[in-house]
Structure 1
Amino acid sequence: MAGKGTPATALLNKTKIAHTVHTYDHDPRHDSYGTEAAEALGVDPAKVFKTLVAEVDGKLTVGVVPVTGQLDLKALAAAVGGKRAKMADAAAAQRATGYVLGGISPLGQRSRLPVVVDESAQRFDTVLCSGGRRGLEIELAPADLVTLTTATVAPIAD
């Protein structure tokens, strides 16, 4: 993977957290990055998590939910002690995280944003999340994902 590392993979390597990097050829015509990853890698879609950036009371916040569900904005706001949440502007999300849409990783973001991981992640020994670019997924233990992102775990998926 020389020359194709990302801030997410660099963080995992630096902290020596056990993980597996999975790559696949991204098809720009696919309508869902997460579903595409699950199909391409042949894994249960409930185990593949997408990273969504929302704005809670004016502050960018990250929700990590299974690709099989949707982010419950009210639940996300409640999880971080906020009142109102809406999806963040795409440009603001990309600027704050340092990643492009469809490749936003909860790991190694440019700005350290509050992260909430859906509680369903705890049902699995490992989960997959974006590695920081389209076509790159990282598989790691949910507890390690929570630790590295200092995340809150809460029921935030519909």
Structure 2
Amino acid sequence: MTITDRDAQDQAPVFDQLVSLLDAGNASFRVLEHPAEGQSEAVARIRGTRPEQGAKAMLCVVKGAAPAPVLAVLPGPARLDFRKLGEAIGAKKATLADPALAQELTGCVMGAVPPFALSPGIRLIADPALFSSNLEIAFNAGRLDRSIVLAVDDYLRIARPQVADITRGD
């Protein structure tokens, strides 16, 4: 997967916003520049991190009385349980958002969405498995060619996600 110069320009505001947020929160983090990659396993190899440290962010839409976007964050190798995600916020089920809607709401292409709800109206839910055995998490930072490695404590303090079991057990 390659990233064009225009894509990089379009994604820069999210990257800049994220770095500013982390700087303002006195977070312990580092930025890694690398070839553009959106797949969890491949980007973990590039970063030199374990796949379980990867914070995979998936924008979903919850079905119910008032459909609403929710950003589900889980370890890179894990699979999202859409029923559990829906139940975590009091709905029957959630579905993956259409890529065009995800890009519109997050300002990022699929695979580059960071595990932060930077847009108003997006709920943030993270699976506890991401934090149970990691001191740091790693994620694409609004761009496919930039990652951030961030202390778990700082992520929880700054992002303030709802923590709930949202992964599949298989």
User: Does the TM-score normalized on the shorter chain lie above 0.5?
Assistant: yes
C-alpha contact (below 8 Å) 2:49/2:138 kept by paired residues: no
Partner of 1:42: 48
**Letter paired with 2:68:** K
Which of 5, 28, 31 is the matching residue for 1:18?
A: 28
Which of 53, 59, 62 is the matching residue for 2:68?
A: 59
C-alpha contact (below 8 Å) 2:59/2:72 kept by paired residues: yes
Partner of 2:83: 74
Give me the CA root mean square deviation. 1.9
CA–CA separation in structure 1 for the residues paired with 2:83 and 2:147: 28
The Cα shift of 1:111 comes to 3.1
Structure 1 pair 74/102, CA: closer, same or farther in 2 (3 Å)? same
**Letter paired with 1:100:** V
CA–CA separation in structure 1 for the residues paired with 2:60 and 2:162: 15
The Cα shift of 1:108 comes to 6.2
- Greater than 4 Å deviation, 4+ residue runs: none
What is the CA deviation profile of residues 68-118 of structure 1, one whole-angstrom value per residue up to 9, with x for unaligned ones?
111111111111222121111111111111112121112362335111111
Partner of 2:4: none
CA–CA separation in structure 2 for the residues paired with 1:149 and 1:15: 10
Partner of 1:156: 166
Partner of 2:152: 142
CA–CA separation in structure 1 for the residues paired with 2:103 and 2:120: 10
SS at match of 2:69: strand
Partner of 1:120: 129
| Structure 2 residues without counterparts, runs of 5 or longer | 1-8
TM-score (norm 1): 0.86
What is the CA deviation profile of residues 33-79 of structure 1, one whole-angstrom value per residue up to 9, with x for unaligned ones?
22221011221101112110000121100001111111111111111
**Letter paired with 2:58:** L
C-alpha contact (below 8 Å) 2:27/2:151 kept by paired residues: no
C-alpha contact (below 8 Å) 2:139/2:149 kept by paired residues: yes
